[in-house]
Structures are given as C-alpha cells and as structure tokens.
Structure 1
Amino acid sequence: MSKDYIITARKLKNNYVIFLFYKNITEIKTALIYTGSDNMKTLIHRIAIPSILEVGKGNINNVGNLIKKSNFKKVLICFGEGIKELFGDSIENSLKEAVIEISKTEIIKDINFEEISIKAFEISNDVEALIGVGGGKAIDAVKYMSFLKKLPFISIPTSTSNDGFSSPGASLLVSGRRMSLPAKTPHGIIIDIDVIKGAPEKFIFSGVGDLISNITALHDWNFEEEHGKIIIDDFAKMISKKSVNSFVRTEFKTIKDDLFLKELVDSLTLNGISMEIAGDSSPASGSEHLISHALDKFLEKPELHGIQVGIATYIMSKVQNHRVERISKVLRETGFFEYVKTLKMRKEDFKKAIDIAPSIKPNRYTYIHVEENRILAKKIIDEDEILNYILV
C-alpha cells in the first residue's frame, strides 16, 4: 500500500467522513459517504491548504531555501511601505543563493481594488509565484493579485495584527471603503518569530483581539444553525475552536515571549484554514466582526481591525452570556484593555456601529441581528465597568 497519504475516518451521526491527508499536502480531499439510503452518494470536497508552513526564529534569512522545495524559478516580491528597507536585502540575498530569479520588486502603498487589479495584469507571464512581505495591506494586495493571475503566493507577515496572512479573503478598498473580496489561501506561510517580536505591541494586541473573537463567532454560528439558517461544517468548527482554546490556555510572562507569539501565530494560521474549509469566514467572524466593519464605514480613522474586534468580542460575549470570564481574563492579562484605554475610543461610535452591524451581512443571522440583543449590547456599553474604563 502506498504511504504517500494517511487515511482517517470519523463517524458523524449516521454518516462517515473519510479524510485523505497527503504528505506533500497541497490539498485535503474529503469524501463524505451518506449511508442509510439505497442511493449512496459521495461528495469530494477539495480544500487548499499551505504546502509550506514555517514558523520559527531566523526564517527571514532563509526564505530562498524554504520555498525552493516548490521548484519556483522566478518570483515577484511585493513589500509593504518601509518593509523593504528592513528586510529586503535578507530576503533577496536568500533567493539569489537558492538560484531563484526575482522578476521585479513592488512597494504596496495603496490597496485600491482598481490599482491592485492593474498591477496583477502587468505581471510577466514567466513569473511562477508571488511573495508578499509586510503587514495586512501588502499581504491582501498580493493575495488578490495571485487570485487574479491564478498564481501561488507566499505570505511573509512582519506583524500578526489579524489572521489575514493565512485566510482566503482579501480586504481591499472599493470606492473608498474596505470590502472583503475572494482570494487565494497562501501556497506558503513563512514567519520569523524575531520579526514578529520586533513589531510594535499594538499589532500583537490586534492579533489577540482578532483571535479571541473565535469564541463569540462560533457561538453566533451555532445560533444560526439552531435557528435553521445554515448547516455548520463540523471540521471547520473543530479547527476554529481548537485554535482559540490552545491560545487562551498558553502561559506567558509578557506578550513578547517566544511561546506566546508562536501560539498566536499558529492559531491565526489555523483560522485561515478553518475559513477555507467552511467556504466562508463564519468560523472566525461573527457579530463582533460586523460591529468592526460597521465602524470602518463611518469612522474617519478606524483603529486596527483586531483592536475593534477585540472590544466588540467582549461586548458580544456579555450579550451571549458565553465565556465572558475567559475573554476578559485574556484581554486583561495581555494588556489589551490598558492599550485600548490610551486610544480614547468613543462609546457612541460602538453604539452606532451596533445599529449598523446587521446591514453589513443581512444574509446572516447572528446575535446582533436580533433587535433585543442590540438594545442589550448598547445597555452593556453604558453600564459595564470595564467598558466605562476603556472607552470615553
């Protein structure tokens, strides 16, 4: 028998799910066999997951060797603003040592949908892969360019402000407003813990806020299924739940501990995979994300995505009456709440966002889509001790 793959099976009610994990993974093939019927049928579900996943210290100096295994001969690199000056030489030298030609380097200054689309179709036809290096903007831009050109891309985040470096969606500006567009799950994710550690702490706080939101997002997802709106993908749910639970149980002294950062990075990576499996963002995005997206619509200068999401997660955990203590403990012990206090974010903005939130995704049915829950959320903002401390 060939040993190129591993087979596992899991029984779900009267159905059997068979998972084929290939050792040189570029996808998982899932065969779901329905039993209890004369007409047995098989569903093949293909899931794109990273072929390269490297998280460790010193990886920024070893990019060439890490991607060489995929046999890329020519690549295009996109850097975020200010990133090439910091890491450009290390990455370019490692690619040259691995005999990988650099077609061109770009600096991503804007994430305007039209401009990114034009850049995509200017890419030379002999380019075999794209590399995105930087924060959310650079990664989102390259992700969408690779989607348009049907090319694999390598994600090299220099901060972990959200799970965008591993997710299958791209957040771009369309007519001046942020919108989530379909894109590609990365072919490779390369993360240097030392680089992440060197980023400003606000990006780590943002990553914490984005990850902790899995708790309220999953509760919203269950709520939708209980009301007959959707059918949950159990495998995606399991991955999302495991990722956040692993993180919140991690012991740490400071948020720059190597183990803490590795757990944060690993868990955010799993978020991207859970969304790929589910086919949408539901395993990691619920009512708390809708509140953040609503803030983006009317605030002149929104805060980092994960910061807004983290605050909204705390609010919605109280509305849901679900794992409030765990969420508040993580946000308190990491210093998230103290950081938010310095931003002087307004209670009235969150109240306005709560009213707008259901219109962001009217096809969903989360806790925030119920009027009574919106009333309760706004009452919590006025009366909760922590929110009165961190918001003005």
Structure 2
Amino acid sequence: MPVLTRLIPSPVVVDISSGALDDLAGLLADQRISNAGRLSIAISRGSGQALRERLAPLLPDADWYPVADGTIDSAVQLADDIKGKRYDAVVGLGGGKIIDVAKYAAARVGLPMVAVATNLAHDGLCSPVSILDNDNGRGSYGVPTPIAMVIDLDYVREAPDRFVRSGIGDAISNISAIADWELSRDVTGEKVDGLAAAMGRTAGEAVLHHPGTVADDEFLTVLAESLVLSGIAMSISGDSRPSSGACHEISHAFDLLYPKRAASHGEQVGIGAAFAMHLRGARDASGHFADVLRRHGLPVLPDDIGFSTDEFVKAVEYAPQTRPGRFTILEHLDLTTDQIRDAYADYAKTIRS
C-alpha cells in the first residue's frame, strides 16, 4: 500500500530570537532567498524610518518603500512601485499593517515575501491572508504564505505592551473558533481539517495555559510561535477557519458599526471568544478565558473598551452578517435582541463572580 502524504504550505525558515534582524541578510542568503540582497523593503512612514537607519548599512543593495497605511490602495501602489525591478523578494518590516500590504504587493507581482515582525499584535503575520482597508470597510485577500518569518524579540520588547497583549487575545480565540468549526461539522456537515484544527488549538492552548507575562522572553517566544502556528493552520485549511469564528464576527461587527471607536483586533476578539464560549454553555472555559485576559491586562467586558451594553448587543446581533456562509454558535442559536441581552447579562454576572 502506498504511503500518502501532503505538502504543508509553510515558511522555509522561522527565526524567533533576540537579534534576529541583525542577521537578516545572512539568513536570506543561507536559505537562497536572496543571495545578492536585492530586496524591496516595505516600512511604515513613522517608526519604520528608525528601522531603516539601523538596517540600511546591513542591506546596502535593498530599496526602501515607506507605506502610508494599511489600505488596498497602498498595497496596489507598492506593487506598482516595485514591478519590473528585478528584486529577489519583498520584505514587510514592521507591524501587521505593513506585513499585510507587503504580502498583497508581493502576490501581485509574483515575488516571494519575507515577513519581519516587530510586534505580536495578531495572528496574520504568517497567514495566507492580507487584511486591508477598502472603500467598503475592510477586506480579506488571499495571498501566498510568507517564504520566511523573522521575529526579533528585542524589537517586540520595545513595542508598546498593548500590541503584545492584543496578540494574546487573538491566539486564545483559536479555541473558540475551532469549537465553532466543529459545531458546524456536527450541524451542517462542514468538513474539518484535523491537522489544521490540532495546530490551531495547540497554539491557543499554549498561550492560554502559560504562566508567564509579556515581560518574560519565554512567554514572548511561546506567543510568537503560537501566532506563527495559527497562520500555518490557516494555510493548511485554505481559509481562516482555524482562527476565526464567532469571536472574529463580533470583532468585525465592532469595526463596521463603530469604525472610529473600535479597539485593537486582539482586544475585541478576546472579549468575543469569552462571550462565545459562554453562549455554548462552556462556563468554566469562559471564566478561564476571562481570568487569563484580565491577568494580561486585556478587557473582558465591552465597557472596558468604551462600549455600552446596548452597543455590544447590537454588535453581536449584526456579527453574522460580517461573514456570510460561516456557521458559528451565533448562527446556530440565532438569538433575538432580548436573548442576546439576557445572555450578556448572565455572562457579565458569571465572570464577575
């Protein structure tokens, strides 16, 4: 009987360490991604300039492209700017917005993309998706997985703690997202990719149960690894299912209904995940989620991020419209406005007790 295997789309190299950026040129040469150092490097127009000043001497043959924002227009502009210039790869150097812009631009011009993250705000660092703002709000665009993933813990430590805490919320939300995926399998017959689910769940559990804090290098390493594994899980499944369920629908609803007031992605999905676990009757898990979020300084109630109960209820009611065709606990229960309000009151009471 033949042995059947499948290829897993993933970076050829993942480097999570202190000082990783100092040897970026050597890493790319050793992996035969860029022997000549002909790189197109996307950076932000703010903090990216300091990175350029530090790294330009180490990458003398690279060209630097400041990116205005995380919009589809900026991504298209970057692609137009680098097209036809014989680069070996596109490097996204910075936070999630810069990396998403670089992923999209690299896909558009057919070049490999290297993700170099300076913070751990969300799990899109290594995913096959670019989240970009557009005229209708925010869109998800399929792209190839980065060919290399570099995370320098020295830069992560220098980033505001809020960016690291946001990644915590995104990582543990995997557990709720996979529960939604398995619910859909049981109710609608949707296929669950067991490997993707195992990888995504393991990533979430590693962060949920780790005793460290954002001040510990060991915890930062586990968080970084978990966010990378989440991205690879999405590549395996071919969509965001391992990391996106009711938790993300609620977050997207916040973004769409209150665009000028929305909190960070990880803060919103953390609350969404804890509430979704409560909705499915997993009160112990919901309470554990809330305890972990609190321990890391993350919000657990909407008023912690400036939203009233009425606004949260409206977001939960609207949430299924953000991902048509995706089945989660929200679509399964199909709660009325009053039922959502009652469920939230019970959730708030439970996690306060």
Query: Common fold, TM-score beyond 0.5?
Result: yes
Measure how far apart 1:342 and its partner are: 5.5
- Are the counterparts in 2 of residues 368 and 374 from structure 1 also a CA contact under 8 Å? no
**Computing the radius of gyration over CA atoms, which structure comes out larger, 1 or 2?**
1
Distance of 2:350 and 2:287 partners within structure 1: 14
Distance of 2:74 and 2:134 partners within structure 1: 10
* Other-structure match for 2:185: 225
Distance 1:150 1:264, change over 3 A: same
* Other-structure match for 2:13: 52
* Other-structure match for 2:233: 274
* Other-structure match for 2:347: 384
- Please list, as runs of the form range in 1=range in 2, the aligned pairs for 1:115-194 lying within 5 A after superposition: 115-125=74-84, 126-194=86-154
Q: Deviations over 1:313-358 (max 9, x none)?
A: 1111100123223312311221213898653233222211111111
The one of 12, 19, 40 equivalent to 1:76 is 40
* Other-structure match for 1:61: 22
- Please list, as runs of the form range in 1=range in 2, the aligned pairs for 1:11-50 lying within 5 A after superposition: 18-19=4-5, 30=6, 46-50=7-11
Distance 1:351 1:387, change over 3 A: farther
**Residue 355 in structure 1 maps to residue 321 in structure 2:** no
Measure how far apart 1:122 and its partner are: 2.8
- Are the counterparts in 1 of residues 71 and 133 from structure 2 also a CA contact under 8 Å? yes
- Are the counterparts in 2 of residues 316 and 377 from structure 1 also a CA contact under 8 Å? no
- Are the counterparts in 1 of residues 290 and 300 from structure 2 also a CA contact under 8 Å? no
SS at match of 1:351: helix
Distance of 1:338 and 1:237 partners within structure 2: 25
Structure (1/2) with the larger helix percentage: 2
- Are the counterparts in 2 of residues 288 and 309 from structure 1 also a CA contact under 8 Å? yes
Measure how far apart 1:60 and its partner are: 2.1
SS at match of 1:62: helix
Q: Deviations over 1:271-312 (max 9, x none)?
A: 000000001000111011011111111213221111111111
Distance 1:292 1:16, change over 3 A: farther
Distance of 1:163 and 1:86 partners within structure 2: 25
Distance 1:358 1:251, change over 3 A: same
SS at match of 1:337: coil
Measure how far apart 1:388 and its partner are: 9.1
The one of 93, 112, 120 equivalent to 2:57 is 93
Amino acid at match of 2:146: P
Amino acid at match of 2:159: A
Measure how far apart 1:373 and its partner are: 4.5
Amino acid at match of 1:280: D
SS at match of 2:326: coil
Distance of 1:161 and 1:293 partners within structure 2: 16
Distance 1:157 1:318, change over 3 A: same
Measure how far apart 1:387 and its partner are: 8.9
Runs of 5+ consecutive residues of structure 1 not aligned to the other structure:
1-14, 20-29, 31-45
Distance 1:70 1:164, change over 3 A: same
Length, aligned pairs only: 344
Amino acid at match of 1:312: G
Measure how far apart 1:51 and its partner are: 0.8
- Please list, as runs of the form range in 1=range in 2, the aligned pairs for 1:199-238 lying within 5 A after superposition: 199-238=159-198
Measure how far apart 1:231 and its partner are: 0.8
Distance of 1:165 and 1:81 partners within structure 2: 19
- Are the counterparts in 1 of residues 168 and 207 from structure 2 also a CA contact under 8 Å? no
The one of 328, 336, 340 equivalent to 1:366 is 328
Distance 1:341 1:255, change over 3 A: farther
**Residue 294 in structure 1 maps to residue 253 in structure 2:** yes
Distance of 1:172 and 1:364 partners within structure 2: 20
* Higher RCO (C-alpha 8 Å, min separation 6): 2
Distance 1:16 1:304, change over 3 A: farther
- Are the counterparts in 1 of residues 68 and 74 from structure 2 also a CA contact under 8 Å? no
SS at match of 1:218: helix
TM-score (norm 1): 0.82
Measure how far apart 1:62 and its partner are: 1.8
Measure how far apart 1:384 and its partner are: 3.4
Q: Deviations over 1:115-165 (max 9, x none)?
A: 421320331421110011111110110010011111111111111110111
The percentage of counterpart residues that share the same residue type is 28
Runs of 5+ consecutive residues of structure 2 not aligned to the other structure:
none
CA RMSD of superposed structures (Å): 2.3
